[in-house]
Amino acid sequence: MTAPERPTAGSVRSTHVAHFLPPDWGRIAQLASPALERSTREVSAPHLLILVPDAAAAVALARAVSLLPAADGRRIVAATSASRTKRLLAAGPAHVVIGSTAILAPVVASTALKLDHLGTVLFAAADELDADDADLATILTEVPKTATRVLTALEANPAVEALLERYLHKARRLVDDVIPAEPVTPTDGVTNVRFLSVGGAPTDALPQVLDEVDAPTATIVVTDEASATAARAILRAIGADNETLARVTDGDVATNTTLVVTLGIPTGTVWAQIIAAKPAQVVAIIAPRQRAALQLLAGESLVVPFAARSAVLKARAADARARTELRDMLAAGVPNREVLALEPLLGEFDGLEIAAAALKLLEQTRAHQDELVKAAEIRVRTIMKEAMAEKEASREQVEREARGERSDRPREFAPRSGGSSGPRTFAPRDDKPRTFAPRGDKPRSFAPRGDKPGFAPRSDKPRGFAPRGDKPGFAPRSDKPRGPRRDDEGGRGGPRGPRTPR
């Protein structure tokens, strides 16, 4: 269905466009297809920049854009963190960059992301963007003035109007099929509309809804062909591929169908067809940010969360235990003091209301006690972890000392045996510094020190065989022959006789 166009102020037709539609990533990706078709694969700079509220939205929208035929051969980068985005952009050229302003602003400021060749800027889910955001201003200052700017939002609230006035002045406004042509009231159709919020793909939660409701006939309404293919694959995997049990459609719902499951937010026309079929139950599997769009479709009909059977059974079991406690208390005897304390309230309230208020106070008290117990358990776990860490550190210290390794801990001295238990102390030295007399410039001599004889310095005179002191010296030999000795024959005195002992 073609969206009607609202007239814009001014006589000049602006190239900027504002689309008012639910935050459905499949439908928003279709708006990016013309920009992808205009881009060329040879250009290494980004041609399309999509601003989203958070990192999860960047991944979901990047998945939807990658399924477009125009995205074939083009590199898409989902910015989930600033450091990772810089690394991805350095690895190769990107044609499409999708991310939040908080993540892309540091990347643009560091010149890792250059927007010189940018052709289109898409503000996706602008309901959650802020016109006064400094990061948004940092990014848009680098965008060329010739770039086309496209905005998507559910409604033209004051925040969206501020964005349009500041960054998309005189933009053309296209209102999508977000509400039925005729208002839906509770008497016109479905009396039981519920929603299930999921963080991932809606098709992943489809088996849970089918198991909880266990309807004899079910119709799964999808918003695009990719969701239809994924839904048929899920039904085939769980054995419900027979169309008599569950069928996948884009809006054709049989009359009096037991269960209708919508994957995402359908258009107003499709929702009117669902209401006209008068199904017994409608369950919408949506993202948390699509809650307002679903209520806009439902009009005055009450939309309640989809509660799993296990949660309902748990709540009923808690109520049964409370009633059992009250029966036991009443069977033991009515407490007189409590009756006298509550008797004045019977003139203002019903007895059942008073009992319900008392039961609520009891539940609040028990919940507070449970919180105190959990807080005490957390404190005990913290203390135990600290004790175990200290014990482990001590064990490692002992092992290091056993291996002879030097410890990083400061050295401590144990007190001497037999002494006091206090730390070892040392007497302080006096404040007079220890000094040494400077040596003189006079050369060291061999003069006698005290009563010790000294050594005279050697002279340059050659050493002779002169007698030293009272010891006889040895004269040098001469060439004169020596005279006869006593032992020689014919010598003086003759031979010696035998020596006689004294």
Percentage of residues in the chain having pLDDT higher than 70 = 74
Q: Is 95 contained in some domain?
A: yes
For 96, residues 6+ apart whose C-beta sits below 8 A from its C-beta are 32, 36, 46, 47, 48, 49, 50, 62, 65, 71, 74, 75, 76, 77
The one-letter amino acid at 405:
E
At residue 220, the 3 state secondary structure works out as strand
Question: What mean pLDDT is predicted for residues 285-302?
Answer: 87
**Lowest mean pLDDT segment, chosen from 251-265, 320-334, 455-469, 471-485:** 455-469
- Are 13 and 115 members of one domain? yes
CA 289 to chain centre: 22
- Are 270 and 333 members of one domain? no
Look at residue 159 and tell me whether its pLDDT is greater than 70: yes
Tell me what pLDDT residue 416 has: 55
Rounded CA gap, 377 and 78, in Å? 41
Q: Is 429 contained in some domain?
A: no
Question: What mean pLDDT is predicted for residues 184-206?
Answer: 75
- Are 284 and 350 members of one domain? no
Q: Is 226 contained in some domain?
A: yes
The residue out of 108, 140, 175 marking a domain boundary is 175
Element holding 18 (H helix, E strand): strand 17-20
Residue 46 burial (CB count, 10 A): 24
Rounded CA gap, 125 and 19, in Å? 10
Q: Is 252 contained in some domain?
A: yes
- Are 38 and 109 members of one domain? yes
pTM: 0.60
The residue out of 141, 175, 209 marking a domain boundary is 175
- Are 55 and 98 members of one domain? yes
Rounded CA gap, 76 and 92, in Å? 11
Q: Is 465 contained in some domain?
A: no
Tell me what pLDDT residue 10 has: 43
Q: What stretches of 127-227 adopt beta strand conformation (E)? A: 148-153, 172-175, 193-197, 218-221
Rounded CA gap, 226 and 67, in Å? 8
CATH of the domain at 139: 3.40.50.300
- Are 154 and 201 members of one domain? no
Q: Is 453 contained in some domain?
A: no
What DSSP assignment string belongs to 259-292? EEEEESPPPHHHHHHHHHT--SEEEEEE-GGGHH
| Domain around 342 | 322-363
pLDDT by residue (tens digit) across 10-43?
444 568 999 999 998 988 999 999 988 888 777 7
- Are 219 and 350 members of one domain? no
- Are 161 and 70 members of one domain? yes
Q: Is 150 contained in some domain?
A: yes
- Are 131 and 168 members of one domain? yes
CB 152 within 8 Å of CB 31: yes
Report the number of distinct structural domains present in the chain.
3
Cα separations (Å) of 112 from 76, 89, 121, 500? 16, 7, 18, 125
- Are 226 and 295 members of one domain? yes
* Order of strands, sheet of 76-79, starting from the edge strand that comes earlier in the sequence: 5-6, 172-175, 17-20, 148-153, 120-123, 48-51, 96-99, 76-79
Cα separations (Å) of 334 from 121, 324, 326, 327, 338? 73, 15, 11, 11, 8
- Are 100 and 220 members of one domain? no
- Are 165 and 76 members of one domain? yes
Cα separations (Å) of 27 from 32, 188, 191, 210, 225? 9, 28, 28, 26, 11
pLDDT by residue (tens digit) across 355-413?
888 888 888 888 888 889 989 999 999 999 899 989 988 888 888 888 776 555 555 55
The residue out of 335, 363, 391 marking a domain boundary is 363
* Order of strands, sheet of 246-249, starting from the edge strand that comes earlier in the sequence: 246-249, 218-221, 259-263, 281-286, 193-197, 303-305
Cα separations (Å) of 431 from 352, 425, 428, 434? 90, 18, 9, 9
What are the φ and ψ backbone dihedral angles of 310, each rounded to 5 degrees? -65, -40
Q: Is 443 contained in some domain?
A: no
Structure-token pair, residue 176:
């999508």
